[in-house]
Chains A and B, each alone.
Chain A
Amino acid sequence: MLQDSLRRFIYGSKGFRIRIPIASCSLAAGAGEVYQAALKAVDRLGIDAEVYRVGCTGLCFMDPWVEIAKEGLPPAIYANVKPDQVATIIERYVSGDLSGAVAVRFKQGGERIPSLDELDFWRLQVRFVSRNCGLVDPESIEDYIASGGYQGLRKALSMRRDEVIETIKRSGLRGRGGAGFPTWFKWRVAYEQESDVKYVICNGDEGDPGAFMNRLLAESDPHRVLEGLIIAGYAIGATKGFIFVRAEKPLMADRLEKAVEDARKAGFLGKGILGTNFDFDVEVYRSAGAFVCGEETALIAAIEGRSRPRQRPPYPATSGLWGKPTVINNVETLAHVATIFQVGVEEFTKLGTEKSKGTKMFCVTGSVNRTGVYEVPIGTKIKTLVFDIAGGPPEGRKVKAVQVGGPSGGCIPIELADLELDYESLQSYGAIMGSGGLVVIDDGNCMVDVAKFFTGFTLAESCGKCLPCRVGMKVLSEILEKITSGQGTLEDLDLAQELGESIAKTGLCALGGTAPNPVLSTLRYYKHEYIEHVLNKRCPAKVCPKLVNYYIDPNLCRGCTQCAKVCPVGAISGSPGKVHTVNTEVCVKCGQCFSICPFGAVKKV
């Protein structure tokens, strides 16, 4: 049976609603044009329908998508819609023809189109915090309230502060930003500090390559994050909250700012919230955008006007922003807090594993058919996420490894695909949950090259304060450069291992402490690839340019001369109609001949 509130969001007040997700991701895919086209189409066709802006569902591979729902017809979902198709789609739908739809939200009769619940990528998800994503208008506080929003805050405010903390303790919620620190513990420490001024900060910095669940959540359901922040503020007795957002994510910041404004007008912020004597206000802070700002002490410093991490302890919960007790929680953690108070602790604790309760949003990118953000219970197996939900690698490719946790995480070989995604098991295999980015790496990738990429990233993002990270990462990336260009020695591998361990142990903040992880984890599982680079001067995946040679297969070459024309150094010789050859001594390995050959005759060896 469909809940009334859900029905209301789907069909709208007019009984006919066309919902189009508008978020940074879908805008990039062209949702803006589709939205305009839909407005025009409705106008032209003279239909009494609302064209409704909603948040993103996280199914990136279907962007831009359109969901059309008219009373009496099942709500149909159309994927990868082009602006010029919109009018036709609407016209057909109105006439009852659902062809072209990839799914219906639920079935009404005997449609042949599958419902969302029949599709693996939806069925296997448990949408706990992302329940509203793609359903409600993120810029409308009314929508959020209609979905049960701010009920959690009302419930929390009717409790004593320590009862609120106790509730979160009972839920077993752990930080969703990376380390998995118990949320209640931070709150308890900050709550027990005696100070007239305390702060709560929502960490929305999210800088990992391949992680965007926080942005998606805050853009699609900003009030949920805000409600969580207000509850956290109440729990510890704070007077002010900050939402720290990367300046590179303007839409996220704009929507949060709008949410704060609306909440203030509605009396959820300000003096005497909901008739209690709790005063609280929130400011959205746009950071300058450095990866290190996601580290809590650096984040605090950034708000104060400097931006470098400092040695902990003291932990922010005892001495944080301007020396006051400060609790910092991730966007997703706070959304969980709000949801837990809305629907009850039991709904949360029945999900997840013994040690880690609830769900986690994962961004699955890389070599998969269905790139997207998926919310699954903690403890879901890697293979479920990669193969069943994200659809596995494109045809002809084999998955080799998954990189979990971004540049601070590690590579886990696909042989361990039965591993359950939770904080402890990931850590024991050399990776971290991180914010939940999961990059799928296929057999076309060289693991040394992957390690080099992530090392290059952290090297560029190192703030330069402590020595091991500043100089050590530089040396580490030089070693990798040496190995990938065929100059490496076996001693270099030992040196990389020793240096990596030293950086991990002595780095000042979490960035330095986890920066060598990609190198250490690839050395652990893919040492044979390193050795192949060093001893045989070969890159098994044929990725590292300096270790790849090109040759032309005489059986396939038709002598079209295209390769010889495109070669910038004249390394290819041959006359029209004759087999061409590559002079490897002159060749600079730019790969242009490889990509231009129409017959696939140019081969890498």
Chain B
Amino acid sequence: MRVVKVYVNGVAVEVPEGATVLNAIEKAGYSVPLLCYLDGLFNEATCRVCVVLVNGRVVPACRFPASDGIKVTTESDELLRYRRTNLELLLSTHRIECWSCSRKSGCELLALSKQLGVEGIPVCAECPLAGDSCLVARGEPCLGPLTVAGCSAECTRNGAPCTGCRGFITRPEVWKSAAEFYREHGVDGKKVEVAMRFFWASVPDHLKKIALGGAP
């Protein structure tokens, strides 16, 4: 079989003809973020977070064929910006209900948002408490649904309600969805507001206006 030589971040690797740029990147020991790609099942290159530079051109690594002598760059400010923009766009259409989602720590969106530094997924995505053991379900004013994930939910997994030390999510849709969740479990909105005072003195008005909790 014919092989082609590809330079990934300056490292020369040989891959069989017909392989993708992604294959070459992996063979060279680098990685790129992936979302829609599933080996052998799906490579329509629709999510555009695996973009890399091939000879200076932005292309999706998962689909673009490797050809002889191409120079692949997997990291640059420009690429990071595109990946982040695309992930943000994806999150903006994602219904955030991590508290009732079964993916939890297996969530690829969570992993990617941590990797690229995109805010928008709450602590609940990392919290192992679910169903009846969830602190909100037990009536606690846990701030997990509103707090930026990334702490591995150390407090809640040890039984302490989240106090929001990592800061609040700025997307109103998440707040609305969380308010629904608090209300469902009859968590007192006043108590949630008290909990917010500790770290979140700066919550902007348009978020404050979203009434949190109260009886259903």
Contact = CB atoms under 8 A, between A and B. Distances in A.
Interface of A: 310-311, 313-314, 465-468, 471-472, 475, 498-499, 502, 505-508
A303 to B, nearest CB: 19
B63 interface: yes
Interface of B: 44-48, 51, 58, 60, 63-65, 78, 81-82, 85-86, 89-90, 92-93
A508 B90 contact: no
B46 A314 contact: no
A472 B93 CA distance: 11
6 contacts: A313-B64, A465-B46, A466-B45, A467-B89, A468-B85, A502-B85
B92 A506 contact: no
A502 B87 CA distance: 12
B89 A505 contact: no
A312 to B, nearest CB: 9
A506 B81 contact: no
A313 B64 CA distance: 7
Of the listed residues B58, B64, B85, the one surrounded by the most CB atoms of chain A closer than 10 A to its CB is B85
B64 A468 contact: no
B44 A471 contact: no
Given A471-B90, A475-B92, A502-B82, A466 B48 contact: yes
A498 B85 contact: yes
Given A502-B82, A505-B82, A506-B51, A475 B89 contact: yes
Contacts of B44: 310-311, 465
> 7 closest pairs, A vs B, by CB?
A502-B85, A471-B89, A506-B48, A311-B45, A505-B58, A311-B63, A466-B46
B60 A467 contact: no
Contacts of A311: 44-45, 60, 63-64
B15 to A, nearest CB: 16
Contacts of B92: 471, 475
Given A467-B47, A467-B48, A506 B86 contact: yes
Of the listed residues B63, B81, B86, B90, the one surrounded by the most CB atoms of chain A closer than 10 A to its CB is B86
Contacts of A471: 89-90, 92-93
Contacts of A502: 81-82, 85-86
Main secondary structure of the interface of A (DSSP, over half): helix
A323 to B, nearest CB: 14
Nearest to B58: A505
A508 B46 contact: yes
Contacts, number: 56
B74 to A, nearest CB: 15
A314 B47 CA distance: 19
Given A472-B89, A505-B51, A505-B58, 15 more contacts: A313-B65, A314-B65, A466-B47, A467-B46, A467-B90, A468-B48, A468-B85, A471-B90, A475-B89, A498-B85, A499-B85, A502-B85, A505-B82, A506-B82, A506-B85
Contacts of A505: 51, 58, 78, 82
A310 B43 CA distance: 10
A486 B153 CA distance: 41
Main secondary structure of the interface of B (DSSP, over half): mixed
Contacts of A465: 44, 46
Of the listed residues A468, A499, A502, A507, the one surrounded by the most CB atoms of chain B closer than 10 A to its CB is A502
Contact of A468 (B65, B81, B86): B86
Of the listed residues A506, A507, A508, the one surrounded by the most CB atoms of chain B closer than 10 A to its CB is A506
Nearest to B63: A311
Contacts of B93: 471
Contacts of B51: 505-506
A506 B60 CA distance: 8
Of the listed residues A311, A466, A499, A508, the one surrounded by the most CB atoms of chain B closer than 10 A to its CB is A311
Contacts of B86: 467-468, 472, 502, 506
Contacts of A310: 44
Contacts of A475: 89, 92
Contacts of A313: 64-65
Contacts of B65: 313-314
Nearest to B84: A502
Nearest to A313: B65
A468 B89 CA distance: 7
Nearest to A505: B58
A474 to B, nearest CB: 8
A508 B86 CA distance: 12
A314 B128 CA distance: 45
Nearest to A308: B44
Contact of B81 (A466, A467, A472, A498): A498
A393 to B, nearest CB: 39
A468 B84 CA distance: 11
Nearest to A472: B89
A428 B206 CA distance: 42
Contacts of B81: 498, 502
A465 B42 CA distance: 13
A508 B45 contact: yes
Nearest to A504: B58
A313 B45 CA distance: 12
B142 to A, nearest CB: 31
Nearest to B85: A502
A527 B34 CA distance: 36
Contacts of B89: 467-468, 471-472, 475
B157 to A, nearest CB: 33
Contacts of B47: 466-467
B17 to A, nearest CB: 13
Contacts of B82: 502, 505-506
A507 B48 CA distance: 8
A311 B63 CA distance: 7
A473 to B, nearest CB: 10
A506 B58 contact: yes
A508 B90 CA distance: 15
Nearest to B59: A311
Contacts of B60: 311, 508
B89 to A, nearest CB: 4
A475 B88 CA distance: 11
Contacts of B48: 466-468, 506-508
A468 B65 CA distance: 21
B38 to A, nearest CB: 16
Contacts of B64: 311, 313
Contacts of B58: 505-506
A499 B90 CA distance: 13
Contacts of A499: 85
Nearest to B89: A471
A404 B63 CA distance: 32
B135 to A, nearest CB: 33
